[in-house]
Amino acid sequence: MVTHNKPLTLVLKYLLALVLIIFAVVPFLWIISTSFNQAKSLLGARLIPEHLTLGNYSELLTSQTLNFSLWMWNSFKISTISVFLIVAITVISSYALSRFRFKGKRAIMLIIMILNVFPGILAMIALYSLMQQIGGYVPWLGLNTHGGLIAIYVSGAMSINVLMVKGYIDTIPIDLDESAMIEGATSWQAFWKIVFPVIRPIVITIAILAFMATYGDFIIANLLLKGNDQITVMVGIFQFTQQRFDTNWGIVTAGTVIAAIPVAVLFFFTQKQILSGIISGAVKE
């Protein structure tokens, strides 16, 4: 805007900013401070703790009954494998949808767009039953398996990512791959050697967003995983708080802080990329 701020407007703006910042930041500060608070229960939780301690963290990580480090490992493993598969499948599919002419392409685009807006999780009763049936034949793909969870993540992430990447490839001049193919390159070589290097920014963006989404997922992981050593950290935190929310608040907060760190750090270092990815996806549509 080109308007100038009058002093009164400026004061009002800062006042509003202050209110919003308190809203945004206090929960964040509070959880960090209580995680270092010696008082273990919610009753003793204060914004400024009286005695600082690392006790909550050490108790969380050394507990015999909680498998916290295993949950973290599960989350990392599942998200990392999912991201690799999501990227590979998305990029290859998007290239074909952008570059090739073939029968049924419009129908496929329509299906992808419908799947993109239709919340597939509504079908969770049937999904649960399907995974149970598949598990009867292919044990590593069934209920309570990481294989099954990854399969659902990968197929669920398809539509939105294909739309983003296909849109991006559409903006790259087709002459680029065509001239390579005139010189004898196959479509695969044209894709891998010419187009893939150009679309690297969007690939990194969808990889980061997919990592954040799978790592933070609660609904599908909670539906599928049951065993204490199978669950992800999000399901673990949820189950833990179901049992002893008030009295073990200190450990709960330590767990939530550790669980939040990986994506927070990832976001911090890739902020520009993520935000511009979201914006370009939104504004183009």
The first and second tokens of residue 94, run together, are 């998007």
Return the residue of 71, 78, 156, 224 that touches another protein, per CB under 8 A.
Answer: 156
Question: With respect to another protein, which residue has the nearer C-beta, 106 or 200?
Answer: 106
Picking from 28, 34, 64, the residue whose alpha carbon sits closest to that of residue 248 is 34
Instruction: Tell me if 53 contacts another protein by CB under 8 A.
Output: no
Instruction: Tell me if 52 contacts another protein by CB under 8 A.
Output: no
Tell me the C-alpha to C-alpha distance, in Å, between residue 155 and each of 7, 152, 231.
54, 5, 20
Radius of gyration of the chain (CA): 24
The span of 53-61, 66-74, 196-204, 258-266 binding another protein (CB under 8 A) equals: 258-266
Return the residue of 127, 172, 185, 194 that touches another protein, per CB under 8 A.
Answer: 127
Picking from 156, 154, 128, the residue whose alpha carbon sits closest to that of residue 225 is 128
Instruction: Tell me if 105 contacts another protein by CB under 8 A.
Output: yes
Instruction: Tell me if 260 contacts another protein by CB under 8 A.
Output: yes
| x/- letters, 218..237, toward another protein (CB under 8 A) | xx--xx----------x--x
Picking from 176, 219, 178, the residue whose alpha carbon sits closest to that of residue 197 is 176
SS3 225: coil
Instruction: Tell me if 267 contacts another protein by CB under 8 A.
Output: yes
Instruction: Tell me if 155 contacts another protein by CB under 8 A.
Output: yes
Distance CA 201, CA 271 (A): 13
Q: Give how far the C-alpha of residue 38 lies from the chain's centroid of Cα atoms, to the nearest Å.
A: 32
SS3 252: helix
Q: Mention every residue, 6+ apart, whose C-beta is less than 8 A from residue 265.
A: none
Instruction: Tell me if 285 contacts another protein by CB under 8 A.
Output: yes
- CB-based contact 36:49 (threshold 8 Å): yes
Instruction: Tell me if 45 contacts another protein by CB under 8 A.
Output: yes
Distance CA 250, CA 60 (A): 9
> What is the footprint of another protein within residues 200-219 (CB under 8 A)?
212, 215-216, 218-219
Per DSSP, the residues of 16-44 read HHHHHHHHHHHHHHHHHHHHTBS--SGGG
> What is the footprint of another protein within residues 180-199 (CB under 8 A)?
none
Instruction: Tell me if 10 contacts another protein by CB under 8 A.
Output: yes
Total chain residues near another protein (CB under 8 A): 109
> What is the footprint of another protein within residues 238-257 (CB under 8 A)?
238, 241, 245-246, 249, 252-253, 256
Q: How far is the CB of 51 from another protein (least distance, A)?
A: 18
> What is the footprint of another protein within residues 67-96 (CB under 8 A)?
89-90, 92-93, 95-96
